[in-house]
Structure 1
Amino acid sequence: MSVGSEAWHAARAAAAAARVEIAEFSGPSVPIVQDIVDQVWGPGQAPHPSLLLALAHAGNPLLVATRDGRPAGLALGFLGWSGGFHVHSHMTAVTGGERSGGVGYALKLWQRAVCLRAGIDEVRWTYDPLIARNAHFNLVKLGAEVVAFRPDFYGAMDDTVNAGDRSDRFEVSWRLRSERVLEAVAGRRRPLDHAAGSLDIPVDYEQLRRTAPDEAAATRLRVREALERAWSAGLGVDWSQGRYVFVDREAAR
């Protein structure tokens, strides 16, 4: 089976397991996108409808997941070429009632299949390194690789998720044809050898941020300093057994 065929097989299986239908964005999808973004990030955070329509018209991968006609999730990306031709996946969101139900995984695998169909072999995105579930999802379940640490990447943010916090981010690369990704999609995990150290983060940083903002701010600074030291020392970052591990950068690929 070719990689492209494998990608579609995996994407359709994931969508069926999550009991969602996934479609590429079109004009009637605008209210669905706005509804999902409002639920996840708060009112006023959705891209303008004209921008969504223009991005879709240009062929960018904008995906919407529904279940029985109800909004379930979205994945919005656009082409990029800094550091090589790729898709930058800017927004991936799942409505509150659908989280942990496989919707996000199905959307990402569908995104992979769509990109491979278009001849694109890499997808990149950013995520908050303090969100443990996203670390596991991105680095283990999907097989993405950390390629950069970007302190305060977005500056001050005013959405309901990030308001009042620093926007430190990992940038990850999802090399869609790589052995690492093929193994991850197949449910296999390569062992990590020769770790040079590890970094613990809170199990639920979002809860800490809500209930103990001063402690959360101190945690943010501690993790930022540790990541900057590791990156300056030429180490890469991976995720294993609920914590970050520092490894040789080539070993993390």
Structure 2
Amino acid sequence: MSSLRRELEGVVIRRAQSPADYRACQDAQRKAWGIAEDGYVIPVATMAGANLHGGLVLGAFQADGAAAAMSFGFLARIEGRIGLYSQLTGVVPGRQSMGLGRHMKLLQREFARADGLPVIAWAFDPLQSGNARFNLAKLGVRVRSYVDDMYGPRTDALNVGVPTDRVIALWDVFEDHAPLDDPGDAPSLIAIREGLPAAVPATADADRLWLPIPHDVAALRHERPTVAEAWRQAVRRAFQAAFDAGYEAAGFVREGEPRCGYILRRRAGD
């Protein structure tokens, strides 16, 4: 078992080691996503099996045994390479300001490096600008695949009533990819027509492309659901067309409207 460990304000981030740890991670998962349906909670047996056979279950454990955050990953084949697929990382409400998610990602990278795993992958909602900025601008991941409605209908608070479209983050743990931080005059993949977003064809010879998204999609889904759905469909079409044309997302800007979106570049060799 790995000795991965970090101590922060009142919690210790470490690998889960017991059934009690796994149950604490289940409780953290319920709280982090507002899950009311047990079918979405990872079973103890699944976490234990993965944790003992090449995967990784991390918890941010308090002195009373409760978990303020958790992360679950398992061995997977990722674009032809064996790596770690991080199924989820979540922080319970009230503890998000501690940087627990970032520390868990860094421990995942430490684990992958120690085990000789060259890549970590995970899925995220492409319209969640905070997650996108963290993944691309802070960690330096790349994105080059889009999955329509990956999980199907969900009932948790973050996903209820919305198709679960996801993009896949790829994090090369032995390489540092400097994220793009300025789209310059890159052509936009989204145009606003009659107040609604629409995907537009990419310029075939552009070195970079700009794919804007809403700054706060959660508020938009609450206040203007029709507009939010138009954004989801436009971003889906724009990403799929760009990926098919050989581009990848390699940077993210989040400076408020309208400077909020992905910077894409041509993949090496394309």
Gaps of 5+ in 2: 187-207, 255-260
Amino acid at match of 1:57: L
Contact 1:131 / 1:204 at 8 angstroms: preserved in 2?
Answer: yes
Is 1:60 aligned with 2:78?
no
Equivalent residues of 1:149, 1:170 under 8 A apart: yes
RMSD of equivalent CA atoms:
2.4
Q: Name the structure 2 match of 1:4.
A: none
Change (3 A) 1:133 1:191: closer
Q: Which residue of the partner structure matches residue 47 of structure 1? A: 42
The structure 1 segments of at least 4 consecutive aligned residues displaced by more than 3 Å after TM superposition are: 15-20, 67-70, 189-195
Change (3 A) 1:57 1:17: closer
Q: Deviations over 1:128-186 (max 9, x none)?
A: 11000111111111111113122222222232211211111111111101022xx6xxx
Q: CA deviation at 1:17?
A: 5.8
Q: Give the structure-1-normalised TM-score.
A: 0.83
TM-superposed deviation, 1:205: 0.8
Equivalent position SS for 1:244? strand
Deviates most, 150-159 or 23-32 = 150-159
In the TM superposition, what are the counterparts of 1:103-142 in structure 2 within 5 Å? 103-142=100-139
Instruction: Pick the structure with greater CA Rg.
Output: 2
Evaluate the alpha carbon distance shift between residue 78 and residue 217 of structure 1 in structure 2; reply closer, same or farther with a 3 A threshold: same
Paired letter, 1:39: K
1:31 aligns to 2:23 (yes or no): yes
Structure 1: runs of 5 or more not aligned: 1-7, 184-188
Secondary structure, counterpart of 2:122 in structure 1? strand
Give the paired residue count. 233
Out of 69, 74, 94, the position equivalent to 1:73 is 69
Task: Kindly provide the CA deviation profile for residues 82-116 of structure 1, in whole angstroms up to 9, marking residues without a partner as x.
Answer: 52111100011011111132110000001111121
Name the CA distance, whole Å, in 2 between partners of 1:232 and 1:59: 33
Aligned AA (2:236): R
Corresponding residue SS for 1:156:
coil
Change (3 A) 1:18 1:216: farther
2:202 corresponding residue in structure 1: none
- Residues in 1 aligned to 2:209 and 2:114: alpha-carbon distance in whole angstroms: 39
CA contact (8 A) 2:83 2:118 kept: yes
* Match of residue 192 from structure 2: none
Deviation at 1:63, TM superposition (A): 0.6
Give the secondary structure class of the aligned counterpart of 2:81: coil
Report the equivalent of 1:250: 268
Partner Cα distance (1:60, 1:241) in 2: 32
TM-score by length of 2: 0.78
Match of 2:217 in 1: 205
Structure 1 CA distance, aligned partners of 2:164 and 2:94? Answer: 26
Residue 61 (structure 2) pairs with residue 87 (structure 1): no
Distance 1:84 1:238 in 2: 20
- CA–CA distance in structure 2, aligned partners of residues 218 and 106 of structure 1: 35
The structure in which a higher percent of residues are strand is 2
Aligned with residue 21 of structure 1, among 4, 12, 15: 12
- Residues 1:191 and 1:205: Cα distance change in structure 2 (over 3 Å): closer
> What is the rounded CA distance, in whole Å, between the counterparts of 2:216 and 2:49 in structure 1?
37
1:171 aligns with 2:171: no
Question: When you count helix as a share of all residues, which structure comes out higher?
Answer: 1
Deviation at 1:18, TM superposition (A): 6.0
Report % sequence identity. 29
